[in-house]
Amino acid sequence: QQQVKQSPQSLIVQKGGISIINCAYENTAFDYFPWYQQFPGKGPALLIAIRPDVSEKKEGRFTISFNKSAKQFSLHIMDSQPGDSATYFCAASSNTGKLIFGQGTTLQVKP
């Protein structure tokens, strides 16, 4: 119930391509779904977040798509760049304030 399942574990995309990472959850009490980006040797940094009352949120090249009925959400990175190469984590939380993280996706964008 408390898990957030993330896929794929790793992803290789050509520069300019679209990177797509998917997450699924079970707990319907979750009401906040952020994505974090982590570079090697650094702490995770908030990238973009969504609430379940909207189906999509876009910030620059990053878009979250949210499907409440399917309990799934995904991150799309348009025009992927080598500088986007990092580990991406989806997460979910409810009113407890506790973030439950997915397993992470290592993205490599090839020049």
Partner 1 sequence: DTAVSQTPKYLVTQMGNDKSIKCEQNLGHDTMYWYKQDSKKFLKIMFSYNNKELIINETVPNRFSPKSPDKAHLNLHINSLELGDSAVYFCASSQVLLQDVGQFFGPGTRLTVL
Residue 87 interacts with partner 1 (CB under 8 A): yes or no: yes
Residue 21: what are its φ and ψ, rounded to 5°?
A: -125, 135
Residue 1 interacts with partner 1 (CB under 8 A): yes or no: no
Sign, CA dihedral 12-33-67-23, equals positive
- Supply the minimum distance, in Å, between the C-beta of residue 58 and partner 1: 17
Applying CB under 8 A, among 28, 79, 103, 110 the residue interacting with partner 1 is 103
Order of all β-strands in the sheet with 62-67: 4-7, 19-25, 72-77, 62-67, 56-59
Residue 35: what are its φ and ψ, rounded to 5°?
A: -120, 135
Residue 45 interacts with partner 1 (CB under 8 A): yes or no: yes
Residue 73 interacts with partner 1 (CB under 8 A): yes or no: no
Cβ proximity to partner 1: between 32 and 108 the closer is 32
Alpha carbon 93 to chain centroid, angstroms: 14
Residue 58 interacts with partner 1 (CB under 8 A): yes or no: no
Applying CB under 8 A, among 14, 26, 28, 42 the residue interacting with partner 1 is 42
Residue 96 interacts with partner 1 (CB under 8 A): yes or no: yes
